[in-house]
Structure 1
Amino acid sequence: MKKNVLLFLMLFFSVLTFAQKTVSGKITDEDGIAIPSASVTIEEPGKDAILAYGITNSKGEYKVTFTSAEPNVDLKVKAFNQKPLTKQIGNSDQTLTFKMQSEATEIKEVQLKTKMITSRGDTIAYDLKAFDSKSDRTLADVMRKIPGIEVNTDGTILYQGNAINKFYVNGKDLMEGGYGTINNSLPKDAVQKVEVLENHQPVKILQDKVPSDAAAINIKLKNSVTMTGRGEVGTGFGDPWLWNVKLTPMFFGQKSQWVVNYKTNNMGEQVENEGNILAFGSRFEGKRINASQNDWLNVENASTPNLPVKRYLMNNVHYLSANYLTNIDTKKEWELKANANYTNNAVERESYTQYDFFATANTPAYSVLQTIHNNFYTDKAKGELIFTKNAKKGFFKNTTSFSQYWNADRGIVDRTTTNGTIQRNGAEALESPTSSFQNSLSTIIPWKEKMVNVLSFLSYQTDRQTLSVSPSSYLQIPGFTANPSSDFVGQSLRLKTFEANHSANIGFSTKGWTFTPEVGFNFKSTDLISDLSNIKSNANPALTQYNNDLKYTTAIPYGSLGVNYKNDSWILYANFPVNSNNIKAEDPLRLVSRELNKVTFEPSVFAQYTFASFWKASINANINNNFGEINTAYSGFLMTSPAGINVMDPNNPIPQNNNKSAGTRIEYRNPLNNLFFNINYRYSDAKRNLISNPTIINGYTAMNYKVQDNNVLNNGYSVEVGKYFPKFKTNASLSYSNNTSKSDALLNNDSYNNKNNGQSYGVKFNNTYFSWMSLDYNASITRTKQTSIGNVNTNATTTGFKHNLGVFFYPIENHTVGFNWDQVNTNAVDQKYHNGFYDVSYQFTWAKKKIDFELKWMNIANKKVFENYEITSTYTSFTRYQLRPSQVMFTVKFNFK
């Protein structure tokens, strides 16, 4: 492993240092007047291949960095109304000034033709028309075909494999990271181009001082004032009657923007996650989180298959959201944003699983057969108010948000074990209301040549959860017996969590360097009250009730030094914090009081080098420490699920986890030949002082932790190559990843070592060359090898194949016939499962009104179950999932304008 790391690092640094040369200078006309926007390219003699390029600025200055093994290269200069110039130069660093001769160009025919991909500085622009097909309707449809850009199923946009940090429309950040709604509903016809802003620092006052390695997306509309949006209304028959409604009007003006969104369906489309925050911006903007519940208690959940959600989701969802932005001053520096959303969702799920547990030194082999039927009810609301000033002379941002959940889950479980014991109709119910409030403030004030930054984050959340199981005889948790005189076992829990993070820093800048000393104080307090009734420990039958009353506090004063550097080639940012960790857990009920006081040094470093115009190489490393949370510190019994109970030892110390990681990346993106690729490597080592030691009998789990040093090692590398072929209107990409993890483990007090190796091969391909057809194809092959050595011994390999084929035919103008094929195969040992799903559609477009009428038949074969086989270090499992049956939908789709 160390050899692999050293080899990769040697390759990394050799790429940085191999034959990098820079040519700079100035371009003028015959009178010595600077020529802006002239192109300067470097080419190898006799070859039609551009090594590097640059564009002169307003002063006529240029700078081009290139890499070549040739002793000489050709430098070519082109500018409008100037005679092209070519000069052969030596392969060395040099400064050259050129005077161009005037040459009037006789234009016989004027034909405007937009380039597909253009680059200027850190901005790469994509002409949307160059990549769309006749079947595309929204921005997301087209973005999936752009080289270097990937759109995940949850709506997250990746550029060169990494998530973006901002999503703008005409330069404004209306959605504050929750851009899924616009991406899925903005009509493609309203968009002029998509811009990728590389190395984007969203805080303007920091743009020349604190660099960023993340990219942003800016959607440039055709009109500066645009009223648009997308709508769908559909109905159909299956089981039950089906509906699908999507209404998303949008307005984008120079002073204000807004989006209103209402979506409802019961046909398996997951729309309720569109409001999730997918891009988090810069830490200097403050802290923003996706508010969520502390899900300590759960009913037993039916499994979900590795399929597109639309194949198995039995839902009934209503999702309503509204986003508004307006400038509140004449200079358009201050913005007010108001965001709100509401979700009401009911989901039904069912699965059957057979678990075959391996024999260990202390337990024989056995099997568990289990059928679970669930109903999940989600009812939540969120509101957010944001004031922002983002100017070159100052920054201010205050975000206030409130979230409320009224969730409830139900479960009916039938379980059979190999010893003949049968528990039927185990009924499980969970009620889990949650209230959450956050306020984040960040301001940057210029002070002479310095910058003062103050950050403040406050959060308060209450979680109330009540889990009940009946009859009580359903439970057979190892070491525990349910009270036979009671009809149920109940677990109640209440959490109150308060968090406050405050910091202040001052920035000093000189010659491209920025130094930012910072002091701060992070505080978190959590109160846990729980009650477990009608169950008793076999070790102490006299006890019939178990309580927790725990207060867990973390106080961390810290000091740190941030170091940032940026020039035309280098980006460097590093942070060197020293933290004083003070943790205390108090349980007066059991006279337990544990403390940990430890000073830690947790540095992080990132460096990126840009060379030869198209190349980027980067390296990063960090060390961090984690000391657990309250869920590892309570001393009483807690039934987290009807299938398991947690048994904490009050004598165990507070967890201490030390994590070290390092990685490197080489990236190439060339808009001149439409080629993009990246290579990544990552290594991490996590050291822990506690190890989980579950006791599993008949599928029920008693979880406890043992004091024992243990490690988790992870290393992995990945490669992705993408190329757009304009002549054939084809975008193709290949990817490969290899990840290995090694860890120590315990099961029923038996120790063993785990090793997992996963490999994945992927291909993506889309083509719009033919006027009568367009094609999209995605496929992946995975191979996973699981090895356990010790008191638990396994050695098994699982392979999988997954693909999606979408073909659209256009036999007559305004008529479209579509075919979709999803295939998922799993092979393990002598088990083989092949699952195919097919859809067909017909669409007529009323071109004058831009309205589509679509008739779609999904799951033609009426496949009602999906079968899968898996192997873990402790058991094998065969699962049969319930799927959506065949269904037919008729939908009318339209733009609002």
Structure 2
Amino acid sequence: MKFYASLLLTFLFSVIGFAQTTVSGRITDSDGQPVPSASVTIEEQGKDAIMAFSISNSKGEYKVTFTSPEPNVDLKIKAFNQKPVLKSIKNTTQNLNFSLESDATEIKEVKLKTKLITKKGDTISYDLKAFESKADRTLADVLKKIPGIEVNGDGSVLYQGEPINKFYVNGKDLMEGGYGTVNNSLPKDAVQKVEVMENHQPVKILQDKVPSENAGLNVVLKKSVTMTGRGEVGVGMDPLLWNVKLTPMFFGQKNQWVVNYKANNNGESVENEGNLLSFGNRWEGRRGQASPKSWLRVETANVPDVPEKRYLMNNVHFFSANVLTTPFKSKDWELKASASYTNNAIERTDSKTEIYEPASSIVPSGGTYVSESANHFYTNASKGELIFTKNAKKGFFKNTTTWNGSWNDTNATINNFLPPVGGSSTPINKFGNQFLDSPSGIFQNSLSTILPWKEKLFNVMSYVSYQKDRQAMDILPASYVNANGNFPEANQFEKLRQNASSETFTANHSASVGFSYKKWTFTPEMGLNLNFNNLESLLTGSNGMNYIGLGQSFQNDTEWNEIQPYTQLGVNFKSNSFNLSLNLPFNFYDITYRDNLRNNSLHTTKSVLEPSLFASLDFASFFKIWAFASQNNDFGNFGFLYEGKMLTSPLGITQRYSYESPMIMPEYRNSNLGSRLEYRNPLNNLFFNVRYGYSVNKRNLIEKFSGDGFNSSLTLLALENTSETQTESAEIGKYFPKFKTNASVSFSNADSKSFSFFNQLQEYKINRQNMGVKFNNTYFSWLSLDYTATLNWATQKNASQNTENKTSGWNHNLAAYIYPLENHTIGFFWDEINTKSRNQSFNNAFYDLSYQYTWAKKKIDFEIKWLNIANTNVFERITYDPQFLLTTVNSIRIRPSQVMFTVKFNFK
């Protein structure tokens, strides 16, 4: 209760601290007719500083809210064909009506100048033309330059630091969350403007009833019926390189479709465009990024902290197709179908890791562990999805059927050089080959429907999922896993094979009814969640063709079953400026763990309240304050417990059970609270946000590692421990129209405290700080710049060992485009990364150069690009692990210097 009382007081004091004044009324002309679209601004007296603004509606009504310590302020009204009004008013809440005088003027010449950013209600519109540079070609290129918006490499969009919940094109959600393809391939010339819809509730029947904390993005095209798309074809050398991108698109009023084929071996992971980047909200049903259950893993080479194109050795083919159609006369019904297929081969070779270990009981004098590794990853994955939706003010229906299949193979070649152990003075050299085969299949169906009846809303939701995973890992020679003498059983075989297979069935069903009273909505709900799982594993050894089991201690046949009925009350309040959402679920957990080989079982039943709170307040037109809190429990999940030993990696034996004390089921309690303050002012193109977050995780079990950190075993130990994390961050961004510059600065601080058990209980504390700078400039007609820089610092303390280490680093990315002549572009690119720890530092710099000629009439670009001019072939960095007290230096192979020639074009 203290936790929620503190949060409530914090929120109330925040609200009280911003005393608000509201001025409202009606604006008419000299004939008494309402004046719509009149701008009403509140300004400080004697200053041209706007504190708040409003636009009158079709009835001439306006309402403006502001905060000011001054006793008097200026109110200004401007409207087309009307004389402007300036009036000094008292800083008190009041109702003021105005009658404007006519001021018609004969216009000989009209010049239209579009505003960069406009705001109407909760929708902010950006004129794309105002932010683009000559080098930009796609929607994503321009979005990166808009204040308040960030775009990641996969095309995902953040607004004010939070992911958007919907991505529409002309108001339709064709991609259903997987919008990276459209964002990265939609030509900017086809787009008129981009709208950010704050507090976007995608379910129409719940609008004005159930608030939302996320924003949606709508791309408005220049034409209501548009055939467009983007294509690239490229070849290169050293070695032979190729790149193909073909993405035709059609956006109509009743039908939309996107077909996408991308393939390359030049280091671009185009397959990530198929990932789900947004998920709508819970009322649309359950939907997420499906992933195989991974029980086993081979050793993998590290990847550097540089743009992926610098190091990724790939050969990828990715195909996807998305179709949206309106099958009935009613536009509310939509049918969407999508399919995708990925074939990908990735190579990581010549990766070297040096780990410096301090003196310990296992390695008395300490030592250096050196590993040279090479990997090949082969991925075949397919997905099919069918979605049937009705989204109307009078009802909602959505059924989503999804099938995912993957057939992945991974192999590793590892050469280890280990320091001497025990009483030996001889270093250990071990060479091993590892192979992992992991097919997986997942079927999901989600249904949600909301039906109105009088003043009530009935909601029924159903989700069913079945997943089957199988993994087989081979290790040759078998003695590789016994490098430090932890696994003597391996010495009697030439090869080891670890098998693991699992099946999961999930069913979630719920029914709720919503009652509305004025601005309040109450939603009682009942539901039943079922989850049934089985895991089987077996470790065998072979000296030829036949495999022999290593005994029951290396075998598992376990079940983890959950039955969770629950009741829940949702309370929502929504007004023009204040939103509140409170969920009070009372969950009944019935969890059973059973070992079918050893006839052991554990059972727990718990009844807990797991509340969550979200509230927001808009004030002074441009400000918004948020507060949120939640508390939930974790009583374990599938795979948390198993008594048999499993070789989860070639250097680690896992046995998630403990014989040192009576075994108990996990009981974790997570508490989270946070707040953020946002400012969004489209009048002066200024955006900023300040955030605070705090979380506590109380646990009754801890993972116990035994070994030297390289050949180790993991079990569980009954030991109460608590971890804490506190974060603070701030970001400010502004667009300067006069200088055609968008700039932002961000800073974050994170403090964490946690416990681990590596041969003994250890407490460690980490403080991390990050600072980021970003700007782009198109002031000069002959030059455009894009620049980002990030600095980081960390202090890592192991309180149990009384050790402390400080690390730091920075990186920056510069893209400069020079336009010496019309239709000619020269590009220069500079990426640099620096890491420092224990008086050692490593610096990595990479440079590219490009030349592009544009055939303006056909909108075709011809580009030649020289990548990695300096022919840097190794990336180096240094890191520190406070848990295992290890300092690590990585040397990772980088793509060599290479040249690409590419033709880029629009489909129309």
Q: Same fold (TM over 0.5)?
A: yes
- For residues 9 and 309 of structure 2, the distance between their equivalents in structure 1, rounded to whole angstroms, comes to 43
The 8 Å contact of residues 12 and 617 in structure 1, kept in 2 or not, is answered as: no
Matched with 1:74 is 74
Instruction: Please list, as runs of the form range in 1=range in 2, the aligned pairs for 1:322-337 lying within 5 A after superposition.
Output: 322-337=321-336
The amino acid that maps onto 2:248 is P
Matched with 1:371 is 372
The 8 Å contact of residues 28 and 99 in structure 2, kept in 1 or not, is answered as: yes
Matched with 1:308 is 307
Secondary structure of the 1:590 match is: coil
- For residues 375 and 250 of structure 2, the distance between their equivalents in structure 1, rounded to whole angstroms, comes to 41
Residues 1:213 and 1:7: Cα distance change in structure 2 (over 3 Å): closer
- For residues 404 and 735 of structure 2, the distance between their equivalents in structure 1, rounded to whole angstroms, comes to 44
- How many residues in Structure 1 have an aligned counterpart in Structure 2? 888
Q: Deviations over 1:686-725 (max 9, x none)?
A: 0011111111326112111110001110001000000000
Instruction: Please list, as runs of the form range in 1=range in 2, the aligned pairs for 1:467-506 lying within 5 A after superposition.
Output: 467-476=473-482, 479-506=486-513
The 8 Å contact of residues 552 and 644 in structure 2, kept in 1 or not, is answered as: no
Residues 1:204 and 1:408: Cα distance change in structure 2 (over 3 Å): same
The 8 Å contact of residues 849 and 866 in structure 2, kept in 1 or not, is answered as: yes
The 8 Å contact of residues 552 and 630 in structure 1, kept in 2 or not, is answered as: yes
Shift of 1:358: 2.8
**Unaligned ranges ≥5, structure 2:** 421-425, 543-548
- For residues 107 and 488 of structure 2, the distance between their equivalents in structure 1, rounded to whole angstroms, comes to 92
Residue 50 in structure 1 maps to residue 50 in structure 2: yes
Matched with 2:767 is 757
The 8 Å contact of residues 541 and 550 in structure 2, kept in 1 or not, is answered as: no
The 8 Å contact of residues 475 and 496 in structure 2, kept in 1 or not, is answered as: yes
Shift of 1:353: 0.4
Which of 581, 602, 612 is the equivalent residue of 1:573? 581
Secondary structure of the 1:53 match is: strand
Secondary structure of the 1:475 match is: helix
The 8 Å contact of residues 7 and 629 in structure 2, kept in 1 or not, is answered as: no
Residues 1:46 and 1:15: Cα distance change in structure 2 (over 3 Å): farther
The 8 Å contact of residues 694 and 727 in structure 2, kept in 1 or not, is answered as: yes
Shift of 1:793: 3.5
Secondary structure of the 2:273 match is: coil
Q: Deviations over 1:43-62 (max 9, x none)?
A: 11111111100111111111
Which of 598, 611, 615 is the equivalent residue of 1:603? 611
Matched with 1:88 is 88
Instruction: Please list, as runs of the form range in 1=range in 2, the aligned pairs for 1:303-702 lying within 5 A after superposition.
Output: 303-350=302-349, 351-360=351-360, 364=364, 365-419=366-420, 420-476=426-482, 479-534=486-541, 543=551, 546-649=554-657, 651-697=662-708, 699-702=710-713
Residue 171 in structure 1 maps to residue 179 in structure 2: no
Shift of 1:425: 3.3
Residues 1:879 and 1:8: Cα distance change in structure 2 (over 3 Å): farther
Matched with 2:101 is 101
Q: Deviations over 1:618-651 (max 9, x none)?
A: 1110001111212221110111111111023264
Matched with 1:538 is none
- For residues 10 and 464 of structure 2, the distance between their equivalents in structure 1, rounded to whole angstroms, comes to 45
Matched with 1:270 is 269
- For residues 398 and 170 of structure 2, the distance between their equivalents in structure 1, rounded to whole angstroms, comes to 20
TM-score, structure 2 normalization:
0.96
Which of 815, 819, 835 is the equivalent residue of 1:826? 835
Matched with 2:281 is 282
Deviates more, 1:31-40 or 1:88-97: 31-40
- What percent identity do the matched residue pairs reach? 57
Residues 1:545 and 1:608: Cα distance change in structure 2 (over 3 Å): closer
Shift of 1:746: 1.2
- For residues 628 and 358 of structure 2, the distance between their equivalents in structure 1, rounded to whole angstroms, comes to 41
Secondary structure of the 1:869 match is: strand
Residues 1:343 and 1:7: Cα distance change in structure 2 (over 3 Å): closer
The 8 Å contact of residues 482 and 534 in structure 1, kept in 2 or not, is answered as: no
Which of 742, 750, 758 is the equivalent residue of 2:753? 742
Shift of 1:390: 0.1
Deviates more, 1:86-95 or 1:807-816: 86-95
The amino acid that maps onto 2:794 is T
The amino acid that maps onto 2:165 is N
The amino acid that maps onto 1:84 is P
Secondary structure of the 1:589 match is: coil
Q: Deviations over 1:636-684 (max 9, x none)?
A: 0111111111023264212111000100100000000000000000000
The amino acid that maps onto 1:228 is T
Secondary structure of the 2:491 match is: coil
Shift of 1:752: 1.7
Which of 867, 871, 876 is the equivalent residue of 2:880? 871
The 8 Å contact of residues 616 and 626 in structure 2, kept in 1 or not, is answered as: yes
Instruction: Please list, as runs of the form range in 1=range in 2, the aligned pairs for 1:96-245 lying within 5 A after superposition.
Output: 96-239=96-239, 241-245=240-244
Matched with 1:846 is 855
Alignment RMSD: 1.8
- For residues 623 and 759 of structure 1, the distance between their equivalents in structure 2, rounded to whole angstroms, comes to 27
- For residues 712 and 483 of structure 1, the distance between their equivalents in structure 2, rounded to whole angstroms, comes to 37
Shift of 1:328: 1.1
- For residues 708 and 363 of structure 1, the distance between their equivalents in structure 2, rounded to whole angstroms, comes to 27
- For residues 314 and 794 of structure 1, the distance between their equivalents in structure 2, rounded to whole angstroms, comes to 39
Secondary structure of the 1:812 match is: coil
The amino acid that maps onto 2:846 is F
- For residues 832 and 646 of structure 1, the distance between their equivalents in structure 2, rounded to whole angstroms, comes to 35
Residue 721 in structure 1 maps to residue 732 in structure 2: yes
Secondary structure of the 1:208 match is: coil
Matched with 1:895 is 906
Secondary structure of the 1:272 match is: helix
Q: Deviations over 1:466-497 (max 9, x none)?
A: 01101111112664223433211111011000
Matched with 1:796 is 805
Shift of 1:81: 1.4
TM-score, structure 1 normalization:
0.97
- For residues 570 and 12 of structure 2, the distance between their equivalents in structure 1, rounded to whole angstroms, comes to 25
Which of 704, 721, 725 is the equivalent residue of 2:715? 704
Residues 1:65 and 1:813: Cα distance change in structure 2 (over 3 Å): same
The amino acid that maps onto 1:485 is Q
Q: Deviations over 1:54-86 (max 9, x none)?
A: 111111111100011111011111111111111
Shift of 1:605: 0.2
The 8 Å contact of residues 481 and 490 in structure 2, kept in 1 or not, is answered as: no
- For residues 82 and 570 of structure 1, the distance between their equivalents in structure 2, rounded to whole angstroms, comes to 34
Residues 1:544 and 1:368: Cα distance change in structure 2 (over 3 Å): farther
The 8 Å contact of residues 563 and 573 in structure 1, kept in 2 or not, is answered as: yes
- For residues 656 and 155 of structure 1, the distance between their equivalents in structure 2, rounded to whole angstroms, comes to 38
Secondary structure of the 1:293 match is: coil
Secondary structure of the 1:484 match is: helix
- For residues 766 and 278 of structure 1, the distance between their equivalents in structure 2, rounded to whole angstroms, comes to 25
The amino acid that maps onto 2:791 is I
- For residues 158 and 109 of structure 1, the distance between their equivalents in structure 2, rounded to whole angstroms, comes to 41
Secondary structure of the 2:137 match is: coil
The 8 Å contact of residues 362 and 708 in structure 2, kept in 1 or not, is answered as: no
- For residues 389 and 543 of structure 1, the distance between their equivalents in structure 2, rounded to whole angstroms, comes to 56
Q: Deviations over 1:576-609 (max 9, x none)?
A: 0000011001112111110010111100001100
The 8 Å contact of residues 553 and 645 in structure 2, kept in 1 or not, is answered as: no
Secondary structure of the 1:18 match is: coil
- For residues 358 and 600 of structure 1, the distance between their equivalents in structure 2, rounded to whole angstroms, comes to 45
The amino acid that maps onto 1:843 is Q
Residues 1:698 and 1:43: Cα distance change in structure 2 (over 3 Å): closer
The 8 Å contact of residues 167 and 177 in structure 1, kept in 2 or not, is answered as: yes
